[in-house]
Amino acid sequence: MENRPTLQDIRDAHERIRGLVHRTPVLTSTAINDMCEGQLFFKCENFQKAGAFKIRGACHAVYSLSEQEARKGVATHSSGNHAAALALAARWRGIPAYVVMPENAPFIKKAAVANYGGEIFLCKPTLEAREYTLTRVVESTGAAFIHPYNDHRVIAGQGTAALELCEEIPRLDLVIAPVGGGGLLSGTAIAVTSVSPDTAVIGAEPEEADDAFRSLQKGEIVPSENPETIADGLRTSLGSLTFPIIQRHVKEIITVSEEAIVQAMRHIWERMKIVVEPSAAVPLAAVLSGGRDLKGMRIGIILSGGNVDLGHLPWR
Amino acid sequence: MENRPTLQDIRDAHERIRGLVHRTPVLTSTAINDMCEGQLFFKCENFQKAGAFKIRGACHAVYSLSEQEARKGVATHSSGNHAAALALAARWRGIPAYVVMPENAPFIKKAAVANYGGEIFLCKPTLEAREYTLTRVVESTGAAFIHPYNDHRVIAGQGTAALELCEEIPRLDLVIAPVGGGGLLSGTAIAVTSVSPDTAVIGAEPEEADDAFRSLQKGEIVPSENPETIADGLRTSLGSLTFPIIQRHVKEIITVSEEAIVQAMRHIWERMKIVVEPSAAVPLAAVLSGGRDLKGMRIGIILSGGNVDLGHLPWR
């Protein structure tokens, strides 16, 4: 198995996307530190362009294309943050973005893609319909397919958030990232364990979509089937590229209940006065759920994004 | 009329509270700039200790007391952010804080005061009951009364936010602060017009609590009577100390509808991914309400606070 991406790939990605994406701030909260008796450092990707870390991977992939490849545009399937991120990155490069989305995707997600100039192809909400539609789009346009997470360029891009975190906050005992398809977690794991070998990397996952937990236990990919979790960014399952990286570099997957996610999300909003989406609250939920002695530890948390429908909040 | 506080008073206040309160960040948003065709710089007092700018004035007042005065503690009446801020500042100095609150104050506000160690005295929700209770508390304890806004020490403290803003962002055309009792606006006006004479200061106020607007028009204080506005921090009316400062240094008061406040608040949450309270959204509402040509202007906005009941948001 080839060992890609490497730390150098992540550094290259960082160089490539610098000036396009934000170097997001790292925030701390005395109130939350007191709650968990540790020192938490939150890497705020909710402040990132297009509202989530996804722009890092999408932007790196888009700018990795040759002039000739790029001219034909990029395509993807996604009902979430990757779709909007890819549309925005494509607009920056001045190329078309074709996005296959299920008809039942939330209006707000479609609007975000359209707002960044992406061309949307609606399909029935089944795996078959999605793949059929994507194949047709790619065939008719010649666009480069950019997978939401199972792509080395994307993984390297996502790893740049943790790279910045480790540069800014040395001597972390632990870094926790949420895990859905594993793009963020695998990029984070490579970055962190390479630049700071004494720092452990942990993935945090909803109990209701615990495919990473089960896949690591079983030693092979065990996909979640139609998982129902409020953490809408984490409903996807590990891919063939992300699984082995996580297997190799991630110490543990902690699963958390829906209630713990909502509570952690509310703590972040109330104490830190920032808007994060449910998926972003999963690592703090893992810290607060207990069961592990994290007392006094320096813990980096990737707050993955802030795209949430303010008209439908989970706490009333 | 004595010209107090002066810029030097504000600088002294800044020196005194440094290291106790946060130097809050100034954030910008491309999306919001595009909406108003100006360049907005948001001074984020929602990230301040105790969640609002109020800690600046309260802390300055508490640390201005002599050892002998301080020993007897501080007292105030407030159902809002000043109450919690004073309790926190008193705790830092290790002295008691006595807070008179109406019995019908929201639970969340009482909890904040109690959480910081303040002693709460409940009274009937009338002006008479409040003053009677406060007088008795002050008489029996010998505590120093710290008014929420009609106090030179408090005004000087509140002015430190704008001082930091002007240091960090030079050549602003305009600074807009919300106005309730006028502590923040008068401190802001002194700071801004002193360090940057070419910068105009504007107050922003709910139409439903437009006492500052009417007071400036009439040339004397015209209090609002039981105003009903979602901007709960702005229901109070100008005081004898804040009115003349505002009369002298503030160019204009812009009033905005309740709908405009809610819309501006939602824009800030959605685009900037930060939690602000309704009062903090009033200046952006003034910018977006139009009627004035702000195109291309560099505008400083004081985001006054972020204390909001997440269980009762105004948009559904």
CATH number of domain containing B168: 3.40.50.1100
Q: What's the rounded mean pLDDT across residues B229-248?
A: 96
Do B134 and B275 belong together in one domain?
no
Chain-chain contact of A311 with B310 (C-beta, under 8 angstroms) = no
Do A17 and A91 belong together in one domain?
no
Task: Tell me if A221 is assigned to some domain.
Answer: yes
Chain-chain contact of B315 with A311 (C-beta, under 8 angstroms) = yes
- What distance in Å separates residue B204's CA from the closest CA in chain A? 22
pLDDT at B1 over 50: no
- What distance in Å separates residue A38's CA from the closest CA in chain B? 20
Task: Tell me if A2 is assigned to some domain.
Answer: no
Range of the domain at B109: 55-145
Confidence class of residue B109 from pLDDT cuts 50, 70 and 90? confident
- Name the domain boundary from B123, B145, B167: B145
Q: What's the rounded mean pLDDT across residues A200-219?
A: 98
Do A163 and A200 belong together in one domain?
yes
DSSP bridge partners of A101: A122
Q: What's the rounded mean pLDDT across residues B287-311?
A: 92
Q: Which residues of A touch B47 (CB under 8 A)?
A: 272-273
Work out the mean pLDDT of chain A and round it to a whole number: 95
Which pLDDT value is given to residue A80? 85
Which pLDDT value is given to residue A2? 60
For A230-262, how does the pLDDT look when each residue is reduced to its tens digit (9 = 90+)?
Answer: 999 999 999 999 999 999 999 999 999 999 999
Q: From residue A211, give the alpha-carbon distance in Å to each of A159, B189, B299.
A: 21, 57, 49
Q: Which long-range contacts (CB under 8 A, 24 or more apart) does B225-231 make?
A: B229/B258, B229/B261, B229/B278, B230/B206, B230/B258, B230/B261, B230/B262, B230/B278, B230/B314, B231/B178, B231/B180, B231/B206, B231/B261, B231/B277, B231/B278, B231/B279, B231/B281, B231/B282
Q: Which residues of A touch B25 (CB under 8 A)?
A: 25
Do B217 and B303 belong together in one domain?
yes
**Phi, psi (rounded to 5 degrees) for A112:** -65, -45
Which pLDDT value is given to residue B247? 97
Which pLDDT value is given to residue B165? 98
Give percent of chain B with pLDDT exceeding 70.
Answer: 99
Do B175 and B252 belong together in one domain?
yes
Q: Which of B46, B312, B313 is closest, CB to CB, to A273?
A: B46
Do B304 and B195 belong together in one domain?
yes
- For residue B170 the two structure tokens come to 């030079």
For B154-196, how does the pLDDT look when each residue is reduced to its tens digit (9 = 90+)?
Answer: 999 999 999 999 999 999 999 999 999 999 999 999 999 999 9
- What distance in Å separates residue A34's CA from the closest CA in chain B? 13
Chain-chain contact of A273 with B316 (C-beta, under 8 angstroms) = no
Chain-chain contact of B273 with A310 (C-beta, under 8 angstroms) = no
Task: Tell me if A64 is assigned to some domain.
Answer: yes
Q: Which residues of B touch A269 (CB under 8 A)?
A: 275, 310
Do A120 and A33 belong together in one domain?
no
Residue A302 near residue A162, CB atoms below 8 Å: yes
* Among A33-37, A131-135, B123-127, the least confident range: B123-127
- Name the domain boundary from B145, B166, B185: B145
Chain-chain contact of B311 with A315 (C-beta, under 8 angstroms) = yes
Which pLDDT value is given to residue A187? 98
Task: Tell me if B221 is assigned to some domain.
Answer: yes
Q: How many angstroms separate the CA atoms of B186 and B183, rounded?
A: 5
SS3 at position B258: helix
Confidence class of residue A107 from pLDDT cuts 50, 70 and 90? confident
Q: How many CB pairs under 8 A join A and B?
A: 42
Which pLDDT value is given to residue B2? 59
More confident of the two residues B277 and A3: B277
Task: Tell me if A35 is assigned to some domain.
Answer: yes
- Name the domain boundary from B145, B169, B192: B145
Task: Tell me if A156 is assigned to some domain.
Answer: yes
Do B165 and B200 belong together in one domain?
yes
Do B16 and B39 belong together in one domain?
yes
Do B186 and B133 belong together in one domain?
no
pLDDT at B250 over 60: yes
Do A21 and A157 belong together in one domain?
yes
pLDDT at A128 over 80: yes
Q: Which of A274, A311, A315 is closest, CB to CB, to B274?
A: A274
Task: Tell me if B1 is assigned to some domain.
Answer: no
Q: Which residues of B touch A25 (CB under 8 A)?
A: 25
Q: What's the rounded mean pLDDT across residues A95-112?
A: 92
> Under an 8 Å CB criterion, which residues of B touch A?
25, 46-47, 51, 266, 269-270, 272-276, 306, 310-313, 315-316
Number of domains, chain A: 2
Task: Tell me if A1 is assigned to some domain.
Answer: no
Chain-chain contact of B273 with A269 (C-beta, under 8 angstroms) = no
For A268-288, how does the pLDDT look when each residue is reduced to its tens digit (9 = 90+)?
Answer: 999 999 999 999 999 999 999
Do B233 and B91 belong together in one domain?
no
Q: What's the rounded mean pLDDT across residues A15-23?
A: 97
Which pLDDT value is given to residue A104? 87
Confidence class of residue B31 from pLDDT cuts 50, 70 and 90? very high
> Under an 8 Å CB criterion, which residues of A touch B?
25, 46-47, 51, 266, 269-270, 272-276, 306, 310-313, 315-316
Q: Which residues of A touch B310 (CB under 8 A)?
A: 266, 269-270, 313, 315
